[in-house]
Each structure stands twice: as C-alpha cells, then as structure tokens.
Structure 1
Amino acid sequence: MKSLIIVNPADCIGCRTCEVACVVAHPSEQELNADVFLPRLKVQRLDSISAPVMCHQCENAPCVGACPVGALTMGEQVVQTNSARCIGCQSCVSGVPVWNDHIQSLPGIPDNKL
C-alpha cells in the first residue's frame, strides 16, 4: 500500500514541520543528524502557496528508466535507490520535476526507499 500526504495548500504555512516528521518517522533509513537532513518530502513554494511534495511512486516511474547506470529500480511497491551505483548525473530528474530540489541529496544515502 502506497502512503500519501494530502495537504490543503491554503492551510500550509511553509514551516517544514512535515519534513522533520518524515525523517523522524523513518529513522531506520538514515541516521538522525542535523548535518544530513534528507526527508522523503520537500516543502515547495510557488508564489504565495506552500505545500509538501513527495515522490508519487509512479507505476512506470520515468526516473528508473532515465538512470543510465541502474541506480534506481522499481521494488515491490516503491522506487528504490542504490547510492553505490549513482553517479550524480541527474538524468533521473529530467522527467520528474518533483525531485529537482532533492537530487543533490541522493548520492551517499544508504540504499533506501524514496
């Protein structure tokens, strides 16, 4: 089962508390460390509206097909990353604008689920 966060953008004040809650909710996937803060979602701001955006876990995820070295794979229900294979080329982002602000964070993360 895929989990989603549904937000009313009119109520979002851009405080980014949801980013912190995301990291705290998934501590086994990364060490809780102020120097390395990598939530699965990111608060995006457009004009006067803020809202958290997260990977949509597409069935035919364009990021997986775009990766030239196979660092992204489709798991049972989620896209998985293999940081050891990632070369940081950002090809995975080309068709997936949701992740534009996340790509610099992906290399170096232990194998995880986006």
Structure 2
Amino acid sequence: MMAKKLTVIPEQCSGCSICELVCGIKHFGVNNPKKAAIRVLTTYPHPVMRMPIVCSQCKVAACAQVCPVDALRWIDGVVQLDKGNCISCYKCVEACPFGAIYAHEDCDLPIKCDMCGGDPECVKKCPKGALRLIPEAALGESRRLNNVLSYTQMKEIEFY
C-alpha cells in the first residue's frame, strides 16, 4: 500500500470548520470542535488567513520520542496512539512542533489524528478541497516545506 499524506491547501480553506465538526462527530459522537483532531486557526483582523492544523504523521515524530511508555508509534504511514498503553502524561501535546495534538478536559487521552483508518472524514467533507489525501511519492519536497512554512507563519500571528 502506498503511503498517503493528509495535505492542507491553506489558500482554499474558507474557515467553515466542517472538518472539525465531522472529526468530533466521528470520534466522539458530539458536535464539539474542541474534541476534533483538526483545528482551523484564523487570523484577525487583516489579513484574514485560515490554516487547518492536523497531524503531519512525521516519520521521526517528536511526540513519539518523548512518550515514556511508547504509546505513539509510526505504523503504516500513521503515528498511532495506543490508547491502552497511554498514561495521559500529555508530553506528546507539548512536544508536537506543529501544535497538532490536543488535550480536552473531558477526554482521558490526547486527541490526535488517526487518519480515520486511511479514509479521513475531513477530506471527504471539505467543501473547498482544502484538505487532500495525496500519495506521498507525488507530494514533492517543496509542497511539504510550504505546508510547514505556512503553519510557522500562522503560529507567529495572534489567533482568536
């Protein structure tokens, strides 16, 4: 099976947050964007920019490296959280350089994208095509770098 990457095209994001909605419903059965493994960051007032933040499924994952019980492992192109092994120390949340692992007061475990078993709901439901599942081989180094730079630029801006 060819590895695929969930890729963000920030210029196409409308900020509708449907990705957050479908993720929260799929994984928790609730309409609560704070329980989603994807978050849409938006800048105000000008320029308005929107950037969906989701796990990059790093091959050398900082989150996995800091986990004291090896509850995060890279398996078949996805950094998987072993819920039975996780001790909820949340070191992974702090270690993620992209801010793409979340904690929620109602959840006993970190919230992290699991790629919906290879068929992400957020990709299927995004009305603007801002989220795409692309074969990793087709995703050039420049696009990977652009995604990282887009996020880095967004992180330096105050969000509301």
Give the percent of matched residue pairs that are identical in Structure 1 and Structure 2. Answer: 28
Larger radius of gyration: 2
Inter-CA distance 41–62: structure 2 relative to 1 (3 Å threshold): same
> Which position in structure 2 is the counterpart of 1:59?
59
TM norm structure 1: 0.68
Contact 2:71 2:86 in 1 (8 A): yes
Give 1:31 deviation, angstroms. 4.9
Normalised by the length of structure 2, the TM-score is 0.52
Aligned to 2:29: 32
CA distance in 2, matches of 1:106, 1:83: 10
Q: 1:64 to 1:97 in 2, by over 3 A?
A: same
What does 1:73-112 correspond to in 2, within 5 Å?
73-99=73-99, 102-104=102-104, 105=107, 107=109
Unaligned 5+ runs, structure 2: 116-160
Contact 1:73–1:80 (Cα < 8 Å) also in 2: yes
Select the structure with the greater relative contact order (CA < 8 A; seq sep ≥ 6).
2
- 1:22-78 C-alpha deviation (Å, 9 max, x unpaired): 456xx4xx3533369743321122443221111001111111111112221111211
Deviation at 1:108, TM superposition (A): 7.7
- Cα distance, 1:56–1:85 mapped onto 2, change above 3 Å: same
> Partner amino acid for 2:16?
C
Between structures 1 and 2, the one with greater helix share: 2
Q: In the alignment, which of 17, 41, 47 is matched to residue 38 of structure 2?
A: 41
Task: Show the counterpart of 1:15.
Answer: 16
Aligned-partner Cα distance in 2 for 1:77–1:12: 25
In the alignment of these two chains, the number of paired residues is 107
RMSD, aligned α-carbons: 3.1
Give, in whole Å, the separation in 1 of the partners of 2:34 and 2:82. Answer: 18
